[in-house]
Amino acid sequence: MLTNLERRMLEFIGNYLREHSGRAPTISEIGRGCGVKSVGTVHRYLKSIETKGFLERARSGWRTLLAPNELPFVGKIAAGRPLEAIEQAEAIDLVSQLIQPDCFVLQVDGDSMDAKGIQDGDYVVVKSTESARNGEIVVALVNSEATLKEYRRSANDELIELIPHSHNPEHSKQVYESEQVQIQGVLTGVVRTTP
């Protein structure tokens, strides 16, 4: 886990790289940007960040290798009645929650799952599998076309329902014979990059 100063340094380097077309900041620039006067202190923190796997030394300077794996978990937020605000000093490891073996990412195009919180433009993390349980959200291939829907197999295994969850009444349940549907994967996470 990164310390607060390490995280600030890593964010400074990432922002600097974006603003300067990939050119890395000097150790002095990192120090000035993070309010650290000693070049030796900056170097020590950079080595620590590198050891933790967030930076890689390049010939021209430091470059960001990975974004931080953890974000601070500061507590719960009410979606109903307000809760007492109590800050918690924990971190959530997003990488281990979203990135698992045999996973891939797709970008959602459409609103057929918006009632499940999966909106147009979101990225979905999908674990590759050829089978699914009733109620799971799957990537299904139907007649060479892929779709993201809730999966439901009939009791006699002859039919498969692909169920949308949308506020848009134009979307309706799709029913296919089981041999028409190939499961490509099961949803494990949703990433939204815009509000």
Tokens of 95: 């990488």
Distance of alpha carbon 45 from alpha carbon 48, whole angstroms: 5
Q: Known catalytic residue: 112?
A: yes
**Alpha carbon distances (Å) from 33 to 12, 49, 65:** 7, 16, 20
Closest CA to 148 of 160, 136, 156: 136
**Short-list 33, 32, 31, CA closest to 44:** 31
The Cα angle at residue 193 between residues 190 and 195, in degrees rounded to 5: 105
Residue of 112, 116, 128, 144 marked catalytic = 112
Catalytic hit among 37, 52, 149, 178: 149
Using CA atoms of 116, 121, 125, 130 in order, give the dihedral in degrees to the nearest 10: 80
Which sequence positions are flagged as catalytic?
A: 112, 149
